[in-house]
Structure 1
């Protein structure tokens, strides 16, 4: 990452608590959380508008550090924004399978899932035993988004309970994403 790039943190449904790697990254590295008006009943359009504002407010290019529903936010925003060239890369961690029959109603409203190829460099990281997405579902999303996917083994939902702590490996993976030309 360069000094001109701001990292925008995109939490998922219900936000990220103080022990979540996203919150820890904010405290350790000064990354900026994209705040949402309603973490319990997320409206895709509202969340996309907040991300658009954060991208436009950044002094230069941004990198996105997304978790769970935040991954779907990045994909939905990218499909509609004319400012995707400002994104240098996106780390998409543990995207949930929103098409499961037991998807909670607040996030089921994000259907249909946006499956368009992303116009910026990205990487999907997933867990072999994520309760919200099978490895096959995670790999399928990554393929639809046109980005690579990597398993981190059996680590749950890759959240605070997964024991990632400050997760320096995740920061390194975000920093290593090389910007690509628009697709």
Structure 2
């Protein structure tokens, strides 16, 4: 598998989160570190992602969760470095009233077609985005949409463990051909 960059969202991903577990499963995985997980800065988060992609020996895979997905969309609107593919999990609708106020600085999220293969994974009961909002993001970004039913925000609370179904989607994206 190519290099794998893990992009957590607001607050980072704790030890039970599927992203943290993937760091143990995939030896080529590296978490994109942010200076401040609790006070996210759009410019700093995009710059950290760009530096991490630039440091990869070959085009990486991206596994983004929540505000990490918003970061990927902003990065793609500003940069042209090659990316092998992106698994975009539970992107927030930053207009939702229960989204933390500090995350609203990432709005508006660019909605242009992404220049790499991608799969957007959405839940039907995500407290930070309606399924219809996720469908719209997938359509605008040119992503295949994967419906994972009622799994909340697809985070530690969802009890996914190492999330084998997500790993299968990531492996699919790492292969040549359409997603």
TM-score bracket, normalised by the shorter chain, equals over 0.9
Describe how 1:133-144 pairs up with structure 2 within 5 A.
Answer: 133-144=129-140
Contact residue 8 and residue 64 of structure 2 kept, 8 A: yes
TM-score (norm 2): 0.94
1:167 matched to 2:163: yes
2:108 pairs with 95, 99, 112, which one? 112
Query: Aligned-pair distance for 1:102?
Result: 3.6
Give the secondary-structure state (helix, strand or coil) at the position aligned to 1:138.
helix
Are 1:16 and 2:32 an aligned pair? no
> Residue 39 of structure 1 corresponds to which residue in structure 2?
37
Aligned mates of 2:123, 2:176 — CA distance in 1:
25
Q: Is the 8 A contact 1:89 1:179 kept in 2?
A: no
In structure 1, how many angstroms separate the alpha carbons of the residues matched to 2:122 and 2:16? 19
The unaligned stretches of length 5 or more in structure 2 are none
CA contact (8 A) 2:92 2:99 kept: no
- How do 1:55-70 and structure 2 match up within 5 A? 55-70=53-68
Task: Give the distance between the partners of 2:72 and 2:119, measured in 1 at CA.
Answer: 12
* Cα distance in 2, alignment partners of residues 77 and 62 from structure 1: 14
Q: Is the 8 A contact 1:120 1:179 kept in 2?
A: no
Q: CA deviation at 1:104?
A: 1.7
Q: Displacement of 1:180 after TM fit? A: 6.5
What SS does the aligned partner of 2:9 have? coil
How far has the Cα of 1:172 moved from its partner?
1.3
Aligned partner of residue 14 in structure 1, secondary structure: coil
- Show structure 1 runs of 4+ deviating over 3 A: 178-181
Q: Please, what is the CA RMSD of the aligned residues?
A: 1.4
Partner Cα separation in structure 2 for residue 39 and residue 73 of structure 1 = 13
